[in-house]
Chains A and B, each alone.
Chain A
């Protein structure tokens, strides 16, 4: 049976379930307890689960992320919340040099079953140091898994999937999605890590997107349908591993590709997807691939400038027409 709830509520319920069922699970991060979580995901948890399970940390991203890694290796199942991906750079050494490499450096002896959640994305006038989407960077790193839930169902399912995983999993929650609503059916079997999903079937053009831009891509597709363009929209869901199989299957079906990615264009995950299509399905293409990314500028504070820097529905529509005209 499904229920219409917010993305925030879905994450909250998934963490609540995990903590209720598994003594090893605890939540740790800045302001997760008394404040209730900077995006209110863990509101009320401190009262319910106590300070042993809901740990307010000092402002020391490297310290508490590293502590999460150590606790995970030593038998716990911590969920580390980093307020935003922009702050995670202070913990990058721990994530890259310890979490992602420990299994390998130890010749398979020590795995790191750690879940790190962080908010990502712009659009809220939080300016250049709070707004960027750096999940594509993390997708560069072998040893990590990088998840980007776009729907309420995925927001719920991915917490459970990540906690079951023996290796470090990073979950990127787009800040603009917390208040969005959707259906959650807790009885459904979760779609596994590394699998993309076709969110809209189409035959003329494939749009690949993740997170908030899935929503924008779906809106654009509706619009394009009015112009007689039948768009297939694929939700990547996971940036590492990427679901090459589904990406290539869609390319083979539509022969035209548009990627939407809130990262900066240079060296982005969209560039990686293009490269893979080039390597694996080049002769399936009927037109040059295209992408809508963020402008190569730190996000400005002023609303009109920030919006101009980000992928938008109209830009997606415009680029889709261009791909179709390049035939």
Chain B
């Protein structure tokens, strides 16, 4: 992958959009505009931006409950995402899902799964159908390091490899399953090794480096679309914020967080661009992003509440699928 100016600007803008959008979410949460669970992706932006860059419109995405960033980069409108967080009918899931369940059929974005590892078998099924229908597209399944201890992780990797499915597993290893550090959860903390045991190509990548993530994903997706079967990427990253808005972060030292902040994907990317002699107008991007975020908030504020009479909608299909 050769980085050019346009690409550099895109990466920076997308990472900054996630950062600023979520900072605004946290603010809205403190004003009680957003309720329930809110899991922020701040610190992990390079993973989502790098992976999404390698995908085409026809590829499918299955994400976790920490998926605002992925939804934004995939192109779901920031307005509809913010409206969803506000519980408004204009939200991308009609206000039925909230922060943990963002969906878009248009963008082939299949959530937003709040059961740890629950998305993996589902993603295997998406890929299975693509294979059966001879569609040359990939399914990308995101999950955290916590999912690795679940049976579904192992069942899904086995099925994907056994059936040679067009799927990319992306483990967003942010070192903690909620408040339990990986070393307290796994006998083998190198997750990519576990995937390799299922006979699939598996790599670790620096999840704080958007270029590295993009490169690794491009390579993996290329192989998948050439019929090479499943691929596994373990993106080593770090969550700068609390697990959710209810987390007092008793399980890690502030110094550890500060140490990781030196690896901030936005700051390190900016440094790399200077090294490469790329000059991007960060002030301009900052303004553009601020406008997008404020528009999203305005849209969400102006959104409407679904009438209570419609409460029991979306339990069974009304449409004719023939």
Contact = CB atoms under 8 A, between A and B. Distances in A.
B250 interface: no
B159 interface: yes
B103 A71 contact: no
Contact of B125 (A73, A107, A142, A166): A73
A139 B104 CA distance: 29
A67 B110 CA distance: 14
Contact of A108 (B110, B111, B314, B322): B314
B103 A106 contact: yes
Contacts of B115: 93, 97-98
B113 A98 contact: yes
A301 interface: no
B161 to A, nearest CB: 11
A103 B316 contact: yes
Contacts of A60: 151, 155, 158-159
Interface stretch (A3-11, A109-117, A147-155, A266-274): A109-117
A98 B111 CA distance: 11
A66 B156 contact: yes
Contacts of B95: 107
B317 A63 contact: no
A98 B103 CA distance: 13
Contacts of A108: 94, 313-314
Nearest to A166: B317
Contact of B315 (A68, A97, A103, A164): A103
A110 B118 contact: no
A242 to B, nearest CB: 14
B111 to A, nearest CB: 7
A44 to B, nearest CB: 22
Given A62-B152, A106-B111, A98 B132 contact: no
Contacts of B97: 105-107
Contacts of A71: 125-126, 128-129, 132
Interface residues of A, number: 41
A104 B96 CA distance: 7
Interface in A82-137: 93-94, 97-98, 102-111, 113
B315 A70 contact: no
A109 B125 CA distance: 17
A323 to B, nearest CB: 35
A318 interface: no
A105 B101 CA distance: 6
A162 B104 CA distance: 26
Interface in B140-179: 151-152, 155-156, 158-159, 162
Given A62-B152, A63-B155, A70 B128 contact: yes
A26 interface: yes
A71 B235 CA distance: 27
A111 B317 contact: yes
A60 to B, nearest CB: 4
Interface residues of B, number: 47
A113 to B, nearest CB: 7
A69 interface: yes
A63 B132 contact: no
Interface string A34-75: 000000000000000000100001101011111111111111
A167 interface: yes
Interface in B5-36: none
B133 interface: yes
Given A103-B314, A166-B321, A57 B101 contact: no
Residue of A72, A76, A105 with most partner-chain B CB within 10 A: A105
Residue of A65, A66, A69 with most partner-chain B CB within 10 A: A66
B121 A69 contact: yes
A66 B152 CA distance: 9
A69 B104 CA distance: 17
Interface in B44-98: 60, 91-97
A66 B124 contact: yes
B3 interface: no
Contact of A93 (B96, B118, B321): B118
A68 B158 CA distance: 15
A21 B151 CA distance: 36
Contact of A63 (B96, B105, B156): B156
B121 to A, nearest CB: 2
Contact of A109 (B103, B123, B130): B103
Interface in B284-319: 313-317, 319
B122 interface: yes
A68 B125 contact: yes
A143 interface: yes
Given A67-B124, A75-B129, A113-B321, A104 B314 contact: yes
Contacts of B124: 63, 66-67, 70
Given A105-B103, A106-B103, A65 B121 contact: yes
Given A62-B152, A107-B95, A26 B110 contact: no
24 contacts: A60-B159, A63-B121, A63-B124, A63-B156, A63-B158, A66-B122, A66-B156, A67-B125, A68-B125, A70-B126, A71-B128, A73-B129, A74-B126, A93-B118, A98-B115, A105-B103, A106-B105, A107-B96, A109-B103, A110-B110, A111-B319, A143-B315, A143-B316, A166-B321
Given A62-B151, A74-B126, A109-B103, 4 more contacts: A58-B162, A62-B155, A63-B155, A143-B316
Going nearest first, the 7 A-B pairs with the smallest beta carbon separation are A70-B125, A66-B121, A107-B94, A63-B155, A74-B129, A106-B103, A60-B155
Interface of B: 60, 91-97, 101, 103-105, 110-113, 115, 118, 120-130, 132-133, 151-152, 155-156, 158-159, 162, 313-317, 319-322
Interface of A: 26, 52, 57-58, 60, 62-76, 78, 93-94, 97-98, 102-111, 113, 142-143, 164, 166-167
